[in-house]
Amino acid sequence: MTERPSVEQMLQNIREIRGRIQMAAPGAQVRLMAVTKTVEPALINAAVESGGITLLGENRVQEFLDKEQQYRRESCQVHFIGHLQTNKVKYIADKVDMIESVDSLKLAQTIQRECERIGRVMPVLVEVNIGREPSKSGVFPEDLQELLEKISRLDRVKVRGLMFIPPICSNNEQKEEIFARIQKLFIDMSAKKIDNVDMDFLSAGMSSDYLTAVKYGANIVRIGTAIFGKRN
């Protein structure tokens, strides 16, 4: 059983999250992404229509395809944030506004080919495995620059920034240390000024760490549980 909040409670959650972000990073322009895995379309649409949510995050291809036609898409964008197999790119390439989880040249090349075929450019973020955790996807920090340079040569794939799923931290100090490293890497990569690579977006921070994330410069936070309640 999931513990779904009522629409009223969910809208309250969204207001509280926005308020806390403003307190943690006054004046910062932070996009609040509602992460919608396992959430039913009616509640998602209420977040868009009454909660002012303009960005949804999907991390499973099949679930996204099952749900997306029920979404109110006029007023919100969808970013793909989950691990993406190359053979699934064709199913989502015409349906998402950004892919945040590009972590290999092979995946970028597949997006390139598909976008050539359908005639669009795909904005992407490159996912970094900051904790070098074997169980997680994402390029290791030391390989990031080389990957960015290779992707920069693909004219249908436009890098707009970086995405992180940080390791679970046992204490606040550790959390701060990780996010400081994330911010430094983001700033370092911006300073390289790689052709055709922009560093506009730093997507980091989930329900348990978004306030630390915005303190360290994240401008997309991806929130599931704190908006829609606990998943199974």
Ligand X SMILES: *Cc1c(COP(=O)(O)O)cnc(C)c1O
Q: Which residue lies nearer to ligand X by CB, 31 or 37?
A: 37
Pick 1 or 191: Cβ nearer ligand X: 1
With contacts defined by CB under 6 A, name the span among 46-54, 88-96, 131-139, 221-229 that binds ligand X. 221-229
Window contacting ligand X (CB under 6 A); options: 67-75, 115-123, 181-189, 200-208: 200-208
Count of residues near ligand X by CB under 6 A: 14
Considering only 98, 139, 204, 206, the residue that binds ligand X (CB under 6 A) is: 206
**139 or 165, CB closer to ligand X?**
165
Q: How far apart are CA 23 and CA 96, in angstroms?
A: 31
Work out how close the CB of 105 gets to ligand X at its nearest, in angstroms, rounded to a whole number: 21
Based on the shown chain and the rule CB under 6 A, indicate whether residue 35 belongs to the binding site for ligand X: yes
- Nearer Cβ to ligand X, position 51 or 224? 224
- Please identify, using beta-carbon distances, which residue of 154 and 165 lies nearer to ligand X: 165
Of 11, 25, 58, 59, the one binding ligand X (CB under 6 A) is 59
Q: Which residue in the set 37, 113, 160, 181 belongs to the binding site for ligand X (CB under 6 A)? A: 37
Residues forming a β-bridge with 221: 32
Determine the interface stretch with ligand X among 130-138, 153-161, 179-187, 218-226 (rule: CB under 6 A).
218-226
Question: Does residue 55 touch ligand X according to CB under 6 A?
Answer: no
Q: How many CB atoms lie within 10 A of CB 97?
A: 14
Binding residues among 142-181 for ligand X as defined by CB under 6 A: 165
223 binds ligand X (CB under 6 A): yes
Q: 25 with 19: CB under 8 angstroms? A: no
HEC readout, the chain? CCCCCCHHHHHHHHHHHHHHHHHHCCCCCCEEEEECCCCCHHHHHHHHHCCCCCEEEECCHHHHHHHHHHCCCCCCEEEECCCCCHHHHHHHCCCCCEEEEECCHHHHHHHHHHHHHHCCCEEEEEEECCCCCCCCCCECHHHHHHHHHHHCCCCCEEEEEEEECCCCCCCHHHHHHHHHHHHHHHHHHHHHCCCCEEEEEEECCCCCCHHHHHHCCCCEEEECHHHHCCCC
What residues are paired with 98 via a beta bridge?
A: 79
Which among 66-74, 109-117, 173-181, 223-231 is the span making contact with ligand X, rule CB under 6 A? Answer: 223-231
Q: Cα–Cα distance between 181 and 128 in angstroms, integer?
A: 12
Is position 79 an interface residue for ligand X (rule: CB under 6 A)? no
| Residues at the site binding ligand X, with contacts judged by CB under 6 A | 35, 37, 59, 81-82, 165, 206-208, 222-226
